[in-house]
Amino acid sequence: MNELLDRLLPAFTPELEDEMVGMTCDLVDIPSPTGEEGAIADYVAHRFGEIDGMDIELQEVEPDRYNVIGRLRGSGRGRSLLLGAHFDTGMTGKDPGMPFGLLPKATLDGTGWIYGLGVSNMKSAFAAYHGAIRAVQESDVELRGDIIVAGVIGETEKSPTDEFSGPAYRAGGLGTMYAAQHGVVADAAIIGEPTGLRVQTGNSSYVFAKVTTKGLSRHTWSKEHGDDAIEKGVRVLDAFRAWESEFAASHAHPTMGTRIGFGAIRGGNSFQPAVNPARSCTLYLDFRFPPTATIMDVHRQVQGFLDDLRDKDPELDTELSFFLCRNGYEITDDEPLVRTVGRAHSAVFGEPSRKVEPYRYDVSADTSILHEYGVPALTYGPGGIRKDGVYDVYDQYGEIVSIENLVSCTKVYAQCIADICG
């Protein structure tokens, strides 16, 4: 233990812990898929508005979608800390092929774990921020710098493309980009993404790309005279899969991994299968790579790969386009914020925090946006670890978070607030 933590611990009463669990469950029980964040924003504004001295600002990012910015002002001339979290869940709770729909509402399993859509990614972080601020206030720690809580819309990794348009697809960091552009910055930032109580000091860059092949349609009765774009698309997909290891090797990095995700393939008209073979087929790919490469570096590399593929097989003429791009970032272990969070973790757990594995950097977070605005930022959150110790957001029943980890993470946040802003 250290003196600062000893001062904070009496505030962590069973009543405070129960309130944190209750707030987490309340947040999970408010559906908030991307584009429908209004109800959860109202709840967050109300709950943080109850904190003594905290001012609440609503930032209208677009109609019926707004960020909630809470600011608890210090006495002055101190360093400020931003605690950020996104409202939106990447899934709706009814999605096929994944366990999200099994327990969409908050469920206490009786063994100290909470289930529910969004509980790990990342609604429990709001409860941890709320509890940490209350603990600091109740411990009479004098704050010189401001505490800023930013609840934001549209963080999840999705973007309008093709016929998919509207608020449900406008994300990819939209809320935090708006907040930073409108002055919501700080001396440091912690984002409570589900890292399993491990410090993550960067994120990979990422690009969503479309690669389209062309064909010629006829009809089932005369299909032999057509040219099949789907068959070409599958060949291109197989080529990308074989090329992934070469792509990764070209972006070797001491911390971060490199991957290609193969997200979707669409070809032809589902409502008219008699018109075949398909006249077009599009692959939807996700490239993750260290920030040592630029977006244009990767564009040239992928285009070069496709050009070489066409030279070897002239039938594989393709069209490449990028439709969502985010720069990554990395801060060093010598950054004061990293040392502060490390000290706080060690004080609470009695041992240093573990580093995340290279591929954990391939998960996006709003930290990269804040970094572009000069804000040192890292991710550290209570979710992202299962009962069996595996670092994952989900088990067979859906998203999961440990109450013990939630409380411990809140203690770390409280010490960071007191250390940075005090």
List, for residues 1-38, the tens digit of each pLDDT value. Answer: 588 889 999 999 999 999 999 999 999 999 999 999 99
Q: How confident is the model at residue 100 (pLDDT cuts 50, 70, 90)?
A: low
Alpha helices, DSSP H, located in 29-113: 38-49
Which pLDDT belongs to residue 403?
Answer: 98
Which pLDDT belongs to residue 132?
Answer: 98
Whether 97 and 355 have beta carbons less than 8 Å apart is answered as no
Please tell me whether the overall predicted TM-score, pTM, comes out greater than 0.85 for this model: yes
Which pLDDT belongs to residue 105?
Answer: 84
Which pLDDT belongs to residue 4?
Answer: 85
Mean pLDDT of 79-94: 91
Residue 375 CA to residue 367 CA, distance in Å, equals: 8
Residue 328 pLDDT exceeds 70: yes
% of the chain exceeding 70 in pLDDT: 97
Cβ neighbours of residue 185 closer than 8 Å, sequence gap 6 or more: 82, 370, 373, 374, 375
Which pLDDT belongs to residue 253?
Answer: 96
Alpha helices, DSSP H, located in 122-249: 124-138, 174-181, 229-249
Alpha carbon 353 to its chain centroid, in Å, reads 20
Start-end of CATH 3.30.70.360 domains in the chain: 205-326
Mean pLDDT of 156-179: 96
Q: Residue 30 is which amino acid?
A: I
> Which tokens is 324 given?
């969502």
Which pLDDT belongs to residue 92?
Answer: 76
% of the chain exceeding 90 in pLDDT: 92
CATH of 205-326, one of 2.40.30.10, 3.40.190.10, 3.30.70.360, 1.20.120.530: 3.30.70.360
Comparing 224 with 103, which gets the higher pLDDT? 224
Which pLDDT belongs to residue 417?
Answer: 98
Start-end of CATH 3.40.630.10 domains in the chain: 3-203+329-421
- Residue-wise pLDDT for 330-343, tens only, equals 999 999 999 999 99
CATH of 3-203+329-421, one of 1.10.150.130, 2.30.30.140, 3.40.630.10, 3.40.50.970: 3.40.630.10
With H, G, I as helix, E, B as strand and everything else as coil, classify residue 197: coil
Average pLDDT, the chain: 95
Which pLDDT belongs to residue 322?
Answer: 98
Residue 77 pLDDT exceeds 90: no
Which pLDDT belongs to residue 246?
Answer: 98
Residue 127 CA to residue 120 CA, distance in Å, equals: 11
Which pLDDT belongs to residue 321?
Answer: 98
Alpha helices, DSSP H, located in 185-294: 229-249
Residue 235 pLDDT exceeds 70: yes
Residue 342 CA to residue 408 CA, distance in Å, equals: 14
> Which tokens is 388 given?
């069996």
Which pLDDT belongs to residue 397?
Answer: 85
Which pLDDT belongs to residue 90?
Answer: 83
Mean pLDDT of 205-221: 97
Mean pLDDT of 46-73: 97
Residue 183 pLDDT exceeds 70: yes
Which pLDDT belongs to residue 49?
Answer: 98
Mean pLDDT of 351-361: 93
Residue 101 pLDDT exceeds 70: no
Which pLDDT belongs to residue 94?
Answer: 72
Q: Which residues pair with 242 in a beta bridge?
A: none
- Residue-wise pLDDT for 239-263, tens only, equals 999 999 999 999 999 999 999 999 9
